[in-house]
Structure 1
Amino acid sequence: MSEQISLQAEVPIELGGKRLDQILAQLFPDFSRSRIKTWILDEKVAVNGQTLSTPKEKLFGGELVEIETQIEAEREYEAQDIALDIVYEDDDILVINKPMGLVVHPGAGNPNGTVLNALLHHHPDIINVPRAGIVHRLDKDTTGLMVVAKTIQAQTHLVKNLQARTNFTREYEAICNGTMTAGGVIEKPIGRHATKRTHMAVHEMGKPAITHYRVAEKFRAHTRLRLRLETGRTHQIRVHMAYLKHPLIGDQLYGGRPCPPKNASETFLDTLRGFKRQALHAIKLSIAHPITGEMMTWEAPIPEDMQALTDILRGDSKENPQIEY
């Protein structure tokens, strides 16, 4: 199964003197520059009836450009009837509230049973969109909001905004170990850990990563945070908070072991020890709609396990008021 693409346009005189790939990117903004370059190299582009295969070829203006190609579907993945909590859907996008334990994309150890497999069942035509329209991910045990593109055009615009860090805002709720006194910005590059290949780490040869955070609520030995991603590196919030020596509660990969305060109740201790995932939830998503340009915002309620954890922390703080001098 594949989608047939047929495009044609006359090159405006004002674009004369520019490269073929630059001109096509302006004429057909629904498709990424890398995809357009591939079409040129694969000889899918004709100018005045003559096939061109050099992206840097310059045009004069006034030429007729035509693209005839196909976009292959994601054939290796199967549709599976997996329930999705759909917060919003139209012809171009859908927004889901991902539960804990659901992997976003098939990979080693998770060949199926993922968000991608569920998307293929819910909207079969999404098979024609690369990665089934997934433009950003959440870790398996992170809950909350994700936007998915249902068309190639929508995906192209969402990815452009995400890469440009414009009109694409992701906010998270988290609970970390330790009492933080103030918010701030963490601007530390992240890359693959030198020895632990499943881990990420802060190191100078990594990719730029920026996390904004503020204190939402302080407890005796923990802090509830509100965070905003400016970049989207793998495990970014988890790695940055561990770097600050405030790993997220339950984050077994990055040191979020139970750190109870003195005189904590058995109920408190049981709740803390029983929280087996990182306390992280994608609570708010704001984007410019990829087709209409309308700014849209969604919020997902705090999941039950994080709400129960918050209630326990609040109760402990009330039962053990700290004396201020």
Structure 2
Amino acid sequence: MQERLELHAEVPESLIGKRLDQALAELFSDYSRSRIKDWILAGHVQINQQVWDKPREKLMGGEQVLIQTRIEVQQQHKAQAMALDIQYEDEHILVLNKPADLVVHPGAGNSSGTLLNALLNHVPDIGAVPRAGIVHRLDKDTTGLMVVAKTIPAQTNLVEQLQAREISREYEAVVNGTMVAGGTVDEPIARHETRRTSMAVRIGGKPAVTHYRVIQKFRAHTHLRLKLETGRTHQIRVHMAHLHHPIVGDPLYGGRPRPPKSASDELRDTLRDFKRQALHAAQLELAHPISGEWLSWQAPLPQDMVDLLTILRADTKAHDQDWE
């Protein structure tokens, strides 16, 4: 649902000579510069009762500004009481540890029972914030830390931090195959040519960079720590599959289970029954969007990944090989 938005201001002397998009970003700092630029290009900005649709136009000072546009609100989604594992919360943001099997945003086949529905219940006013304050996502079955903006100014700042690659996100994963050392994957990602629900490394795709290092090696698997520079859809999953080391349990990119030779029935069963990607957002660091204070959170591995690693270690020890 969309809601009418009308903003008024007079250009002060301090903004004389500024470009239109720069001046409006300062006058209406609750909204991002990219959003304001979109409003200008769409003809939603009037200066002295005349439409200005060129972001680079210079201002002389004293002009009367009127913005008339519409913004998305979340009223069409229902608030639902759901348990949230909140790691931090103040009046501007909250940080939560997302469990597996929780969809972040309603979509086809998921109109309720999502994180967004839970947020509307936990913070009723968050419906006035675009996408209910969700500034980045985790895949349904990826666990771990997410930050949510509770106000428009916080959302604007967090989006700008993400775009500037200033938010640090680190993950842990268990992948198929034994990796010798860490490294970096710098490969563009785009929608798969034929499988429209999947992504792929493709020429002409959006830039995507993933750094990884080895935590522990097993006979046929590796425990990794990964850090994102960018935040493309399925980025870690696609990049690991591109290296021919897909994440254990990944239903889209992982393929069949790959137990080592002479694996125990317990290990074979664990790999076969691991029905989600073994991927966890373990650490999140950012500047508080209002105070600027640098904040950091860590979330321990979920129990299913702890159990998987325990069995992989036991398998390595049982076969008397030191892969660490």
User: Are 1:180 and 2:175 counterparts?
Assistant: no
Corresponding residue for 2:241?
242
| Separation of aligned partners in 1, 2:70 and 2:204 | 38
Matched ranges for 1:186-205 at <5 A: 186-205=185-204
Contact 2:8 2:64 in 1 (8 A): no
Alignment pair present for 1:115 and 2:115: yes
Give the CA deviation at 1:41.
6.4
Give the whole-Å Cα distance in 2 for the aligned partners of 1:16 and 1:290.
28
1:54 match: 52
User: How does the TM-score come out when normalised to structure 1?
Assistant: 0.92
Alignment of 1:1-325 (within 5 A): 8=9, 10-13=11-14, 15-40=15-40, 47=47, 50-56=48-54, 57-63=57-63, 65=65, 71-166=71-166, 168-322=167-321
- Distance (Å, rounded) in 2 between the aligned partners of 1:265 and 1:34: 55
CA drift at 1:5: 6.4
SS in 2 for 1:191: strand
Q: Distance in 2 between matches of 1:40 and 1:181?
A: 52
Instruction: Write the letter of the residue equivalent to 2:210.
Output: T
Letter in structure 2 aligned against 1:216: I
For residue 23 of structure 1, what is the amino acid of its counterpart? A
- For residues 93-116 of structure 1, the C-alpha deviation after alignment (integer angstroms, 9 at most, x for no partner) is 011110000000011121221000
Q: Distance in 2 between matches of 1:305 and 1:174?
A: 12
- 1:170 partner SS: strand
- Deviation of 1:236 (Å): 0.4
Question: What amino acid is aligned across from residue 229 of structure 1 in structure 2?
Answer: L
The code of the aligned residue for 1:215 comes to: V
User: 1:323 and 1:239 mapped to 2: Cα distance?
Assistant: 29
Determine if contact 2:4/2:68 at 8 Å carries over to the other structure: no
Query: Matched residue of 1:172: which SS?
Result: strand
Relative to structure 2, which stretch is displaced further, 137-146 or 72-81?
A: 72-81
- The Cα offsets for residues 209-241 of structure 1, whole Å up to 9 and x where unpaired, read as 000000011111100000001000110000000
TM-score for the superposition, normalised by structure 2: 0.92
Query: 1:27 and 1:6, CA in 2 relative to 1: closer, same or farther beyond 3 A?
Result: closer
Displacement after TM superposition at 1:21 (Å):
2.1
Residue deviations 1:111-143, cap 9 Å, x none? 221000110011110000010000000000000
Asked if structure 2 preserves the Cα contact closer than 8 Å seen for 1:212 and 1:229, the reply is: yes
Counterpart CA distance in 2 for 1:2 and 1:292 is 29
Offset at 1:81?
A: 1.2
**How far is 1:268 from its partner?**
1.3
Q: 1:304 to 1:205 in 2, by over 3 A?
A: same
- When residues 20 and 111 of structure 1 are mapped into structure 2, their CA distance, relative to the original with a 3 A threshold, is same
Paired amino acid for 1:8? A
Cα separation, 2, equivalents of 1:158 and 1:323: 44
Per-residue deviation at 1:310? 0.5
| Whole-Å separation in 2 of the counterparts to 1:227 and 1:115 | 24
- Residue identity matched to 1:268: L
Contact kept? 1:212, 1:228, Cα under 8 Å: yes
Alpha-carbon contact 1:25-1:32 (below 8 Å) kept: yes
Query: For 1:229 and 1:5, how far apart are their aligned partners in 2?
Result: 38
Q: Are 2:218 and 2:313, in contact at CA under 8 Å, matched by a contact in 1?
A: yes
Higher mean C-alpha deviation, range 79-88 or range 89-98: 79-88
Q: Which amino acid in structure 1 is aligned with residue 138 of structure 2?
A: L
User: Hey, what's the Cα distance between the residues in 1 that align with 2:42 and 2:184?
Assistant: 44
CA distance in 2, matches of 1:284, 1:194: 33
d(CA) in 1 for partners of 2:112 and 2:145? 21
Is the alpha carbon distance of 1:192 and 1:264 closer, same or farther for their aligned partners in structure 2, counting shifts above 3 Å?
same
* Cα displacement (A) at 1:71: 4.5
Q: Which runs of 5+ in 2 are unaligned?
A: none
